[in-house]
A and B are shown apart, each in its own frame.
Chain A
Amino acid sequence: MSEWRKDWRHGPWSPRIVVNAGLVTVLALVPVYAAFAGDPFAMTLFSRILIMAIAALSLNLIMGFGGMVSFGHAACLGIGGYAVGILAKEGIGSGFVQWPVAVVASAIYALVVGALCLRTRGVYFIMITLAFAQMVYYVASGLDRYGGDDGLTIYHRSQFGPFDLNNATLFYYLCFALLLASIYLVWRIVNSRFGLVIQGARSNEPRMRAVGFPTFRYRLVCFVIAGALCGLAGALLANHTNFISPAMMHWTRSGDLIVMAVLGGMHAMFGPLIGAMAFLLLEQGLSHVTDYPDLILGPLLLIVAIYVNGGIDGLLGGPRRG
Chain B
Amino acid sequence: MLYFIEQFLNGIQLGMLLFLLAAGLTLIFGIMDLVNLAHGSLYMLGAYFAATFAAWTNSFVLGAVLAVVATLVAGMVLEVIAIRRLYGRNHLDHVLGTFGLLLFFNELVRLVWGPAGMTLSLPSEMLTAVQIPPGLYYPAYRLVIIVVTLAVALLLYVLVMRTRLGMLIRAGASNREMVGALGVNIKLLYTLVFGLGAALAGFAGLMQAPILTVQIGMGENILIPAFVVVVIGGIGSIRGAFVAALLVGVIDTIGRAFLPDLLHRYLSENAAATLAPALSSMSIYVLMAVVLVARPEGLFPAAGR
Contact = CB atoms under 8 A, between A and B. Distances in A.
Interface of A: 63, 69, 71, 116, 119-124, 126-128, 130-132, 134-135, 138-139, 141-145, 251-252, 255, 258-259, 262-263, 266, 292-295, 297-302, 304-306
B106 to A, nearest CB: 6
Contact of A120 (B102, B103, B274, B296): B296
Given A63-B92, A126-B91, A131 B101 contact: no
A126 to B, nearest CB: 7
Given A294-B104, A298-B101, A131 B92 contact: no
**When A and B form their complex, which 9 residue pairs have the shortest distance between CB atoms, in order from nearest?**
A142-B278, A301-B100, A298-B104, A305-B97, A294-B107, A298-B103, A138-B281, A294-B103, A131-B285
A255 B102 CA distance: 11
Contact of A294 (B106, B220, B275, B297): B106
A255 B99 CA distance: 7
B292 A128 contact: yes
Contact of A116 (B91, B275, B282, B293): B293
A305 to B, nearest CB: 3
A299 B78 CA distance: 12
B99 A301 contact: yes
Nearest to B292: A128
Contact of A139 (B220, B282, B297): B282
A298 B102 contact: yes
Contact of B104 (A144, A252, A266, A295): A295
B145 interface: no
B111 A120 contact: no
A306 B100 CA distance: 11
Contact of B95 (A128, A139, A255, A306): A255
A23 B78 CA distance: 37
A166 B8 CA distance: 53
B296 A124 contact: yes
**At the interface, is chain B mostly helix, strand, loop or mixed?**
helix
Interface in B74-120: 82, 85-86, 89, 91-108, 110-111
Contacts, number: 141
Given A127-B231, A299-B104, A141 B96 contact: no
6 contacts: A134-B224, A134-B285, A252-B220, A255-B37, A259-B95, A301-B97
A306 B85 contact: yes
Contacts of A119: 293, 296
A294 B110 CA distance: 10
Contacts of B110: 292
A69 B292 CA distance: 16
A144 B104 CA distance: 34
A69 B92 contact: yes
Contacts of B89: 305-306
Contacts of A134: 224, 282, 285
A145 B271 CA distance: 11
A169 B33 CA distance: 48
B111 A292 contact: yes
Given A135-B286, A292-B107, A295-B108, A124 B231 contact: yes
Contacts of A145: 274
Nearest to B277: A142
A258 B35 CA distance: 14
A154 to B, nearest CB: 21
A259 B95 CA distance: 8
A134 B278 CA distance: 10
B244 to A, nearest CB: 12
Given A128-B288, A259-B95, A294-B103, 4 more contacts: A119-B293, A142-B277, A255-B37, A305-B86
Contacts of A130: 224, 227
Contact of A301 (B96, B107, B227, B235): B96
Most chain B beta-carbon neighbours within 10 Å: one of A124, A143, A305: A305
B228 interface: yes
Interface in B250-305: 273-275, 277-279, 281-282, 285-286, 288-289, 292-293, 296-297
A305 B293 CA distance: 31
Contacts of A304: 96, 100
B29 interface: yes
A262 B103 contact: no
A69 B37 CA distance: 15
Contacts of B35: 123, 126
A305 B96 CA distance: 6
B281 A141 contact: yes
A302 B38 CA distance: 11
Nearest to A256: B99
A306 B101 CA distance: 12
Most chain B beta-carbon neighbours within 10 Å: one of A121, A251, A298: A298
Contact of B292 (A120, A255, A305): A120
A128 B288 CA distance: 7
Contacts of A127: 227-228, 231, 288, 292
Contacts of A121: 296
A29 B165 CA distance: 62
Contact of B107 (A116, A126, A293): A293
Most chain A beta-carbon neighbours within 10 Å: one of B95, B103, B275: B103
A71 to B, nearest CB: 7
A306 B97 contact: yes
A63 B37 CA distance: 19
